[in-house]
Structure 1
Amino acid sequence: MDIRSMDLIYNLEMERLNSIMDLKNFVLFKQGAEARIYKGVYLGKPCLAKERFPKKYRHPDLDHSITTERIRAESRAIVRCKNAGIRTPMLYLVDYNRRIIFLEYFENHITVKDYIEQCSDEETLKSLSLRIGNLIGKLHSKNIIHGDLTTSNILLIKKGDGELTITKKDLVLIDFGLAHLETSAEDKGVDLYVLERALISTHSAAKEIFINILNGYKEVNKNNFKEIYSKFEEVRARGRKRTMVG
């Protein structure tokens, strides 16, 4: 097959995908500072479309360059997580021209934030916290920095029928809009600090939850834990100093 024929097939396939992924068939689900999230269906499966809208205060060329790089970084982080055995939404399609990525949507889920708020069993919360620590430890062992670790960005997915219990859920990490690849202990320490601050601002049992998350983190990141934790404490100290100074 010659190059012209291959280009024709590619263009036809992209046209087919674009027609399937027409946002006219999606409804607005959520809007944030960086993107609009739409919900729809892709090949019979629930799907989210994340559209990064233009920022009018930036030069169009600069805006396009920044947005393209962020979409690329987000997509790369998701693929790398999949390769590492970390569950994330499946990536269906990346459309740089329309600044949209199309992702799997989990119908039957609850955020970890909501689950913690309605769970009163200490052992269940401890087990969940350790699993979250394992998840983040694995993430960092592959040099993936999430950038926005909160309990709202981790989902619990029910595996089967029946009541929701910790043994019937999978942890799914979502929202990689600020993700990037980085080997430094400093960036990993910042990731943990962001999570700690999110826990403190959201959950009354934040201290106990975070201690167990660190224990779970250490289980899968033993070799680098000491250095990363040291950087985390440095970042935490700087954060406290800024809070005191104002």
Structure 2
Amino acid sequence: MSPSEKTLISQGAEALVYKTTYLTPTLPALLKYRPAKPYRHPTLDARLTKSRCLAESRLLIRARALGIPVPAVYFVDEARGEIIMEWISGASVRSVLDAMLAAPGGTQKVDRVMVEMGRVVGKLHAADIVHGDLTTSNVMVRLRRRTGLLADTCEEEEVVADGGEVVLIDLGLGSMSTAEEDKAVDLYVLERAFLSTHPKAEGLFKDVLAAYETSYKGAKPVLKRLQDVRMRGRKRSMLG
């Protein structure tokens, strides 16, 4: 794939993410590429890259098969460390909340997003999938067409009013787990993301947990464990 056919949109510690196309020039796609790490032994690096690439793609495929909104996987080249997946045309929940909460009466408009997010995370955990990096930047609101224009041009509050779908992205740190602790940590990471980046939405997080509980039969012991995780987090903060 030549550089002219892809555009770098983000760069993390583990992977580069590009916007590209798949099969035809009109089908937008996301390319996630794990480059070689020169500080690791080449054989070990190749094994880790292959393992992580396959693990992420399998989680996405499993989640989607169970009706959990995640990007569709189009193509996997584990030897090259590449996954090509569906391009989600939308905005992160983080940017949606930033826009809405800045507007007068905005807290009333985001309630649906909070409920939908809790429901989707509940479905994820019911499938014994742990996200591993559950932040408001890794949850998208899929934008829709409106008055003949691409939804990318719409304001975020219009997206919610139109019933934009909440989609989980970036399961690169995800795993299969039945442990209540792992699921509670997922929720704690999401809660901390709200507290640190959306102080006005702190009171709304209870809607996420309420929707989570109604969508996941095993939620009660996880929410109980969440209290323990919170206490440990507070103790670490006090100790520095």
* TM-score, structure 2 as length reference: 0.88
User: Alpha-carbon deviations, 1:154-193, whole Å to 9, x = none?
Assistant: 1111233145242331111111110111011110001001
2:145 to 147, 160, 178: 160
Equivalent of 2:21, from 41, 44, 50? 41
Deviations 1:56-77 (A, max 9, x none): 2222222222222211111111
Question: Which amino acid counterpart does residue 13 of structure 2 have in structure 1?
Answer: A
> Judging changes above 3 Å, is the alpha-carbon distance between structure 1 residues 106 and 65 closer, same or farther for their aligned structure 2 residues?
same
CA RMSD of aligned residues (A): 1.5
Structure 2: how far apart are the matches of 1:130 and 1:51?
A: 32
Q: Which of 235, 239, 243 pairs up with 2:229?
A: 235
**CA deviation vs aligned residue, 1:5-40 (integer Å, no higher than 9, x gap):** xxxxxxxxxxxxxxxxx2432232221111111221
Q: How many residues are treated as equivalent by the alignment?
A: 223
Structure 2 stretches lacking a partner, 5+ long: 148-153
Per-residue CA deviations over 1:92-117 (Å, capped at 9, x if unaligned) read: 1100121111111133x111111111
Q: Does 1:81 align with 2:63?
A: yes
Higher helix share: 1
1:86–1:135 Cα contact (<8 Å) kept: yes
Residues 165, 106 of structure 1: alpha-carbon distance in 2 compared, 3 angstrom cutoff: closer
Q: Which amino acid aligns with 1:72?
A: L
List aligned pairs for 1:183-194, cutoff 5 A. Answer: 183-194=178-189
- Which ranges in structure 1 are unaligned for 5 or more consecutive residues? 1-21
Q: Which residue of 2 aligns with 1:60?
A: 42
Return the index of the structure with the highest Cα Rg: 1
Aligned to 1:111: 92
Is the deviation greater in 118-127 or in 44-53?
118-127
Structure 1 runs of 4+ aligned residues shifted over 3 Å read none
